[in-house]
Amino acid sequence: MSIDLSVNVGSLALHNPLMTASGCSGYGKELAAYDDLSWLSAIVGKSISREPRLGNPYPRTCETPSGMINAIGLPNEGWESYTRNTLPLMRELVRGKPTKIVLNIVGHDLDEYTWVAERANDESDIAAVELNLSCPNVAGGLQFSTTADGCEKLVKAVRKVLKLPLIAKLSPNVTSVADIARAAEAAGADSLSLINTVLGMNVDWRKRKALVANGMGGLSGPAIKPIALRCVYEACKAVKIPVIGIGGICTADDVLDFMVCGASAVQLGTVLFVEPDAPQRIARDLKERMREAKVEKLSSLIGTLRAREGA
């Protein structure tokens, strides 16, 4: 039985549904040391801003039951160095492979986001731009993700200048994911990705101290998968554009859980810290799970969940 793992996220044709999640594997070279990047359909780099950023004070991460908290604060080299040093390296890494490059961008305000987005148009080999409108670890970082109005304004402003496919990455730290998803769609996003991390906290009572210097941070890993599934399911019901599922994915079954809830593709985040060559295992297992279920085309499973009456 021949198995077809290919999926489409709007105009993005992917040979399988496995992308990296921003911030969990740098810009590709960190993974290339462990695995052939061909197992991934896209590398989503760490968020890039106009100016370089140092990020938050250390410690920036800690472990939690079934996950981790990070308060990294979006350190990055800034646009100029990214295009001079990192993007050329990414192009080399994916040359001859089916793996696409997705640029994830962040800004302090509309002006910074649009500045970066506009310049992305001029760079070859960027398949899509993902807007990080939802980082919980930066002062003011939630302003665009927690209200439908804020989200709509940002997506609209970026849409106006960006010619590439636009993915709006949403936060779970909101009252209504559906409202924000609809706002992003109305403003012209081509697809959505969710979720970013869940606002959380971990402490050492003996030291009377939080375990990350920032106090609070973003929870990720298997602990957040049920929250992510719920958010993806709600977003898929609210919009017509495709949705990319993110949150605690570690196995082929996790991928399939997201896809039956409506996700057209997925991103792998925290699992890559534990197992940098997980994409290979997950891609192989996906084929196995599909053979067992006698499903030839992965895309035929998207959105096939039979929700309980009234759920």
Ligand X SMILES: Cc1cc2nc3c(=O)[nH]c(=O)nc-3n(C[C@H](O)[C@H](O)[C@H](O)COP(=O)(O)O)c2cc1C
- Looking at beta carbons only, is 24 or 238 nearer to ligand X? 24
Residues 15, 17, 19, 22: which binds ligand X (CB under 6 A)? 22
Question: Between vectors from CA 66 to CA 62 and to CA 72, what angle results, nearest 5°?
Answer: 30
Report which residue type is found at 117: A
Q: Shortest gap between Cβ of 85 and ligand X (angstroms)?
A: 18
- Looking at beta carbons only, is 242 or 247 nearer to ligand X? 247
Is the distance from CB of 182 to CB of 239 less than 8 angstroms? yes
Among the listed residues 135, 231, 250, 261, the single catalytic one is 135
d(CA 248, CA 234): 17
Q: Shortest gap between Cβ of 12 and ligand X (angstroms)?
A: 17
Biggest alpha carbon–alpha carbon distance for the chain: 58
Is the distance from CB of 220 to CB of 269 less than 8 angstroms? yes
User: Which residues lie below 8 Å from residue 108, measured CB to CB, with a gap of 6+?
Assistant: 49, 140
Report which residue type is found at 123: E
Residue 114 touches ligand X, criterion: CB under 6 A: no
Residue 49 touches ligand X, criterion: CB under 6 A: no
d(CA 181, CA 176): 9
**Among 244, 248, 259, 78, which residue's Cα sits nearest to residue 167?**
244
- Looking at beta carbons only, is 213 or 295 nearer to ligand X? 213
Ranges within 131-190 binding ligand X (CB under 6 A)? 132, 169
Q: Shortest gap between Cβ of 154 and ligand X (angstroms)?
A: 14
- Looking at beta carbons only, is 4 or 285 nearer to ligand X? 285
Q: Shortest gap between Cβ of 46 and ligand X (angstroms)?
A: 4
Instruction: Determine whether 231 is an active site residue.
Output: no
Residues 23, 73, 107, 245: which binds ligand X (CB under 6 A)? 23
Is the distance from CB of 2 to CB of 296 less than 8 angstroms? yes
Residue 70 touches ligand X, criterion: CB under 6 A: yes
| Secondary structure letter of residue 98 according to DSSP | S
Report the residue number whose CB is nearest to ligand X: 23
Print the binding letters for residues 254-293 with ligand X: x by CB under 6 A, - otherwise.
---------------xx-----------------------
d(CA 125, CA 94): 10
User: Which residues lie below 8 Å from residue 176, measured CB to CB, with a gap of 6+?
Assistant: none
Residue 211 touches ligand X, criterion: CB under 6 A: no
Q: Which residues are catalytic?
A: 135
Q: Which residues bind ligand X (CB under 6 A)?
A: 21-24, 46-47, 70, 72, 74, 104, 132, 169, 196-197, 220-221, 224, 246-249, 269-270
